[in-house]
Chains A and B, each alone.
Chain A
């Protein structure tokens, strides 16, 4: 349910001021019509206290029922009804306030039409204004709800995108560890620790929090070390990152899937030893990361460069920065290049 507009103190204050002004206005008009002060003040106060109270009820009522399709009818009908009730109440109160045969009652009866007219104008404008306020309030609530649900959806999607651990990687790493337990237990233990640190990192990283490039590279090295145990000398990596870019910020776990993609294509597309280079540099307001891997242009697999790794990274960067131009790929000779652009805010 909407909250009453009168719970807003400022609104209540101006509502009161407005009625005070109308009361003064009525007094001035009556005064100019040569009505005695006593009558003019009594009439002005009685009329506007009653009408103000009725308008308050009418407006407050909209908390419970806000007309939608029948807005205009509602304004007219309710204003007419309120004015009718108002005149009757006013009439009754004059009978109580004034002596029975007071000539002012006659004057009052003669001014029914003008009173009804001005009352209708006042009431309908208050109704319209309240309607507007309540509609606005409702709209705001709707928007808040929408943006809330949108945020939840975005968080869920980001979470899902990040959770895409390649089962291939996991099972093959476990197989390598299984193999090492008999041939080199010390190395097996070390690899279990690396794999644990890698998995822990994957579970705990908070999407919202940016991390420094140095931290991300540390994490990446963990992954690369595991892959190097798996593939032996076939896999070599070179990482170039100078002092100045180490503290630039990027979303966590962005690099690993891209490098995983590069390793997959590098290792499974050629049979030679593979060198993956990762270079980080910054320009103006961006961090640029370039990842190069060899591939075989002859094979021409159509899925290249649109593999799950890259499309999920593209989607994640879009969700985080609302930009679609942050991932670029290029094939030149037998080198495939992936470029990531991370805006620095």
Chain B
């Protein structure tokens, strides 16, 4: 038996998937979810084998929801129109259905899943999708059972913490299962600079830079924190600030 979830905010869009699934008696729908929050809870609760996931949904979109799951199940994305998302899929060969989709196209996606349940490439889709305009200006994190959406302007700095990245912002510190290199790239457009192997700073908040050694510098943020810079990081900071 294959257990699946349908996550879409439009009831009729869920109905058509249920309707198409009648032809596949081996697949049962464990739950239907209205948005990413419900979806997240349902995924943890049911541990589904397959998820039909819409991209544009209230509060957090499909990609952001997936970012919050450590071990994402196989996904078949469904979307009406999102050129950025489609690019993300295309580059990573994950199956996706463009609404409105036919019964035949749907059956093909299911066959593809049954033959080779794809897992690995979803991470690449997410990395690609993180560059899309709707996601660039915010970061979604889990705070216990709660989900927080942090606008990038409220982030002070990011710090490497083993396999995670620690995000330090106005209302606390959050861990995210990503790499420093990922954030260095995706936050570059918002004046974030990697000043050290372990630190990425919001340059808007820098109030003072002072030398600590012969060729190393530290900087002070308007929030009081002090961060070290590496030689290469200091050079990057200088060029970013134009000094």
Contacts and interface: CB of A to CB of B under 8 A. Distances in A.
A222 to B, nearest CB: 18
Contacts of A174: 99-100
Interface string A270-304: 11000000000000000000000000101111110
B129 to A, nearest CB: 16
A271 B81 contact: no
A171 B99 contact: yes
Given A171-B100, A301-B137, A271 B37 contact: yes
Contacts of B123: none
Interface string A246-290: 000000000000000000000111110000000000000000000
B99 A299 contact: no
B12 interface: yes
A234 B81 CA distance: 21
Name A's interface SS.
helix
Nearest to A232: B11
A229 B82 CA distance: 21
Contacts of B15: 179, 183
B172 to A, nearest CB: 14
B58 A180 contact: no
Contacts of B35: 271
Contacts of B34: 271
Interface bracket on B:
20 to 34
Interface in B1-60: 9-13, 15-16, 19, 34-35, 37, 56-59
A182 interface: yes
Contacts of A171: 80-81, 98-100
A175 B81 contact: no
B37 A268 contact: no
Given A182-B19, A301-B151, A302-B151, A176 B13 contact: yes
Interface in B117-169: 137-138, 149, 151, 153-154
A231 interface: yes
Contacts of A176: 10, 12-13
Nearest to A177: B100
Contacts of B138: 299, 301
A339 interface: no
Contacts of B154: 300
B10 A299 contact: no
Interface string A151-182: 00000000000000001101110111111101
Interface of A: 167-168, 170-172, 174-180, 182-183, 229-232, 234, 267-271, 296, 298-303
20 contacts: A168-B56, A168-B82, A175-B13, A175-B100, A176-B10, A178-B99, A183-B19, A229-B12, A230-B10, A230-B12, A232-B10, A234-B9, A268-B58, A268-B59, A271-B37, A271-B59, A300-B151, A300-B154, A302-B153, A303-B137
